[in-house]
Amino acid sequence: VTETAGFIARVAQAAQRNHSLLCVGLDPEPDRFPQSLRLARRGIIEFNRHIIDATAGLVCCYKPQFAHYAAVGAEDQLAETIKYIHDHHPGIPVILDAKRGDIGSTAEKYALEAFERYGADAVTVNPYLGRDSVEPFLKWKDRGVILLCRTSNPGARDFQDLEVGGEKLYRVVARRIAQEWNAAGNCLLVVGATYPKELAEIRALVGDMPFLVPGIGAQGGDLQAVMRAGRAATGDGVIINSSRGILYAGGGEEFAAAAQAAARTLRDEINKCRSVHA
Amino acid sequence: VTETAGFIARVAQAAQRNHSLLCVGLDPEPDRFPQSLRLARRGIIEFNRHIIDATAGLVCCYKPQFAHYAAVGAEDQLAETIKYIHDHHPGIPVILDAKRGDIGSTAEKYALEAFERYGADAVTVNPYLGRDSVEPFLKWKDRGVILLCRTSNPGARDFQDLEVGGEKLYRVVARRIAQEWNAAGNCLLVVGATYPKELAEIRALVGDMPFLVPGIGAQGGDLQAVMRAGRAATGDGVIINSSRGILYAGGGEEFAAAAQAAARTLRDEINKCRSVHA
């Protein structure tokens, strides 16, 4: 991995090396930790280290979700988690899932937060404020900018599905990003696993732009449908995220082994779909 | 101020007491601090305390912007800033400007972050993910949920202005919030000062729901046009934010006195518009 290779290339290299399209979401919920870590002062980083060491050979990237750290004032453990991955498992990129979105001058600060303070390889961004709110991220050309397009939650229908000049808003968002915002080739889209029809539609619009696909597992997305609908013609083009289904696969002190088994099972299921639909 | 009075009532009380619709945005930029604070280990909280003490009699609320703290790892100073306002200037509400937006289970964590960890009286939220992404905030009935509607930046046009069934998206967003999300009466809207026509349109749609209006000053919004377009029939209904124009009114060691003078001038200009258009 050279420092100038972009985020998408780095994910592809990790995917090839680990034969995996799986992203493990690092969403710590101390209430669900094993007893020994639940009340530990630095329980989050301890939990994450065990999960990371158990799964680093099975993933193409990691995705810590910001709110899970911010709600309990654990930004230092978020920073340490990202550094731990980079130091101990080089070549595995990290997505900071923070869904930022603000006016240009403020977005500059958010880009510094994600890319400099936390050293993330990519960040999720909300497109509602338009182009100038995204440009401060886009100009970090070796980092990924993962824009919300069609999300995995029920409320995605409220605005993302509104008809705009004969087609739905999420299609307009997807096309605008692909045609106008992606000059540096560092854009990706968030498209939820829970809506395979929309996944297929968006795939048809944006060529081989990679998708980050949340919603498998706890949210009920169907993996086979996702893999049929979401893959790009020229390659894989999907990063399949699972958080709770892996982190809390086992509740006891054997949580890391349980997480490893769950990650391996999901990775293999994804790969089965890859060979079927190749 | 009783603990059960909602955010909107608390702002109205502060507005009446200080005869002010001004919100001072606490967006620390250490490069613009006076020399003595620029390199101080806790320069942000020191700067903010001086600004707050100089302006607390001139505002109806404060609004720290999250990215300005997060970019430099100063969440502790953000928490201290909010606590300082509550402890030393009780009755002045604080808006955490963080523009959160995520699926329901994650939004629960963001609500805990804003309202419990930071103790904010209100938080800004991005509506793109729809109703279930906003409900975890709405159920904190004594706090304000300030939803992005028509923002102040140029990119606001990209998606917010798209035509949806004969009218623009920001109108659909405004109506949905007013008619369906505001059962607890704790919703407000962000409507940028830079687009007075849109401000008037949205005012016509949502009755007396208060607006948080950024974009005066550095962004070029016209105060008189805003006050003509944005006020509610039944009262004032606008919270006028200014950040850079007040914080950095004077560059030297007299920055707090300069900020006080700038805040007083803007407050008085706003009040002049109130009496003209009353």
- Assess A157–B contact: CB distance below 8 Å, yes or no: yes
Nearest to A153 among B68, B73, B129 (CB): B129
> pLDDT > 90: what percent of chain A?
89
Tell which A residues from 15 to 44 touch B, by Cβ distance under 8 Å: 27
B104 at interface of A, judged by CB pairs closer than 8 A:
yes
Task: Read off the pLDDT of each residue in A42-53 and give the average, rounded to a whole number.
Answer: 98
pTM: 0.97
**CA dihedral over A244, A249, A252, A257, signed as positive or negative:** negative
pLDDT in tens, B164-216: 988 999 999 999 999 999 999 999 999 999 989 999 999 999 999 999 999 99
Contact B153 A112 (CB under 8 A): no
pLDDT tens per residue, range A77-89: 999 999 999 999 9
Note whether A162 contacts B: Cβ–Cβ < 8 A: yes
pLDDT of residue A217: 78
Average pLDDT over residues A233-260: 93
Instruction: State the best of B99, B133, B138 to mutate against chain A, taking most chain A CBs within 10 Å.
Output: B99
End-to-end C-alpha distance for chain A, whole angstroms: 27
SS3 readout for B180-202: HHCCCCCEEEEECCCCHHHHHHH
B73 neighbourhood in chain A, CB within 8 Å: 75, 79, 117
Single-letter residue type at B214: P
CB-based burial label for A277 (10 Å; 0-12, 13-18, 19+):
exposed
Q: What is the pLDDT of residue B277?
A: 55
Q: Which of A23, A14, A129, A34 is nearest to B192 (CA)?
A: A129
Cβ–Cβ below 8 Å for A128 and B127: yes
Burial profile A88-114: b = 16 or more Cβ within 10 angstroms, e = fewer: ebeebbbbbbbbbbbbbbbbbbbbbbb
Contacts of A23 (CB under 8 A, 6+ apart): A59, A60, A61, A62, A63, A95, A212, A239, A240, A241, A242
Q: Give pLDDT tens digits for B45-96.
A: 999 999 999 999 999 999 999 999 999 999 999 999 999 999 999 999 999 9
